[in-house]
């Protein structure tokens, strides 16, 4: 038997036991895909990261797994892995870090205590298969609480973006499993991202959000970087000037998180940046067959 060592982090927060939990395994070159998936299933976190030995200074291959599948890209694993490498002095924070998930290389920089990455490809935006009336029924809200028709946006992982009218509406959401199976489960996106623009001043938006997906049942996520990026890319497509967003998520779960995003301005059209803190909260090891 040999050990597969991992670290536990809370991501998109600077406080332990808030934000989104993440496990990161280091130097996993001998682990096969089946074992990685089994480890992710055993940990049962939203995502688990596996980093191989660097291919060049500050260049790390990265694979991301949920308990049931591998993902091409996800935001909180990217930010969390970057923070762990810096915490362990495995990278030089004054130089860009390059993580290499399936979607393509992601360049990460360390600024103001946060890890910041730029998406690997332009945002994809298309009509949602959920209309406004269907969204009302899905969310258990009144018709005036849903703003306009949803859209789908993606930087590698697609989300139905649904704007709500107020924080009260966001807190009042009561998802219908039956409507989910009819409208979301077999759609072009298996995740729903709800958001409220609480305040807007010039290029800055204060946003509250919630993200839901379905595994064995409907689950909520406390901090979703890929969804925050998708929302930012969509909002940026509606304007020409620079956009900066501070997105708060996880409040309803007792795991508050903060995700900083930006688009337009000095950022190449169609791309977005995602930024956040993370804290290391523990470590462990699994015994796996040689």
pLDDT tier for residue 84 given thresholds of 50, 70 and 90 = very high
- From the list 131, 141, 125, 80, the residue with the least C-alpha distance to 275 is 80
* Whether 144 and 222 share a structural domain: yes
pLDDT value for 289: 82
* Whether 128 and 263 share a structural domain: yes
- Say whether pLDDT at 235 is over 80: yes
pLDDT tier for residue 179 given thresholds of 50, 70 and 90 = very high
- Say whether pLDDT at 45 is over 70: yes
pLDDT per residue as tens digits for the range 101-147: 999 999 999 988 999 999 999 999 999 999 999 999 999 999 999 99
* Whether 128 and 67 share a structural domain: no
Is 190 catalytic? The answer is no
| The total number of structural domains that make up the chain | 2
* Whether 234 and 211 share a structural domain: yes
- Say whether pLDDT at 216 is over 70: no
Q: Are 91 and 109 in contact (CB under 8 A)?
A: no
Measured CA distances, 10 to 6, 39, 247, 253 (Å)? 14, 18, 17, 14
- φ/ψ of 236, rounded to 5, equals -65, -30
- From the list 287, 275, 224, the residue with the least C-alpha distance to 6 is 287
Active-site residue identified among 27, 30, 47, 220: 47
- Say whether pLDDT at 150 is over 90: yes
- Say whether pLDDT at 226 is over 70: yes
pLDDT value for 62: 97
pLDDT value for 92: 83
Q: Where are the beta strands (DSSP E) in 38-105?
A: 48-51, 59-65, 70-71, 97-100
Domain that holds residue 195: 124-270
* Whether 195 and 215 share a structural domain: yes
- CB burial string 72-91: b at 16+ within 10 A, e below: ebbbbbbbbbbbbbbeeeeb
Rounded to the nearest integer, the mean pLDDT of the chain is 95
Predicted TM-score (pTM) above 0.85: yes
């Amino acid at each position: 038997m040999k050990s597969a060592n991992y670290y536990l982090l809370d991501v998109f927060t600077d406080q332990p036991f808030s934000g989104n939990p993440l496990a990161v395994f280091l130097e996993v070159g001998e682990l096969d895909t089946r074992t990685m998936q089994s480890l992710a299933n055993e940990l049962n976190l939203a995502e688990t990261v596996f980093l191989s030995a660097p291919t060049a200074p500050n260049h790390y291959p990265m694979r991301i797994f949920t308990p049931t599948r591998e993902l091409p890209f996800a935001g909180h694993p990217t930010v969390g892995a970057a923070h762990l490498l810096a915490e362990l002095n495995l990278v030089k924070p004054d130089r860009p870090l390059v993580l290499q998930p399936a979607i393509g290389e992601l360049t990460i920089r360390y600024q103001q205590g946060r890890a910041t990455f730029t998406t690997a490809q332009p945002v994809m935006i298309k009509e949602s298969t959920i209309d406004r009336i269907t969204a009302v029924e899905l969310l258990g809200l009144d018709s005036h609480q849903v703003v306009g028709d949803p859209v789908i946006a993606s930087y590698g992982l697609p989300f139905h973006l649904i704007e709500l009218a107020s924080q009260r509406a966001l807190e009042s959401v009561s998802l219908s499993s039956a409507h989910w199976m009819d409208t979301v489960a077999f759609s072009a996106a298996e995740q729903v991202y709800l958001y409220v623009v609480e305040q807007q001043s010039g290029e800055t938006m204060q946003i509250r959000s919630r993200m839901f997906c379905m595994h064995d049942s409907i689950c909520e996520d406390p901090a979703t970087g890929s969804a925050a990026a998708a929302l930012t890319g969509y909002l940026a497509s509606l304007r020409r000037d620079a956009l900066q967003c501070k997105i708060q998520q996880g409040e309803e779960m007792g795991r508050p998180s903060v995700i900083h995003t930006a688009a337009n301005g000095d950022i190449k059209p169609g791309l977005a940046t995602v930024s956040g803190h993370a804290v290391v909260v523990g470590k462990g090891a699994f015994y796996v067959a040689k």
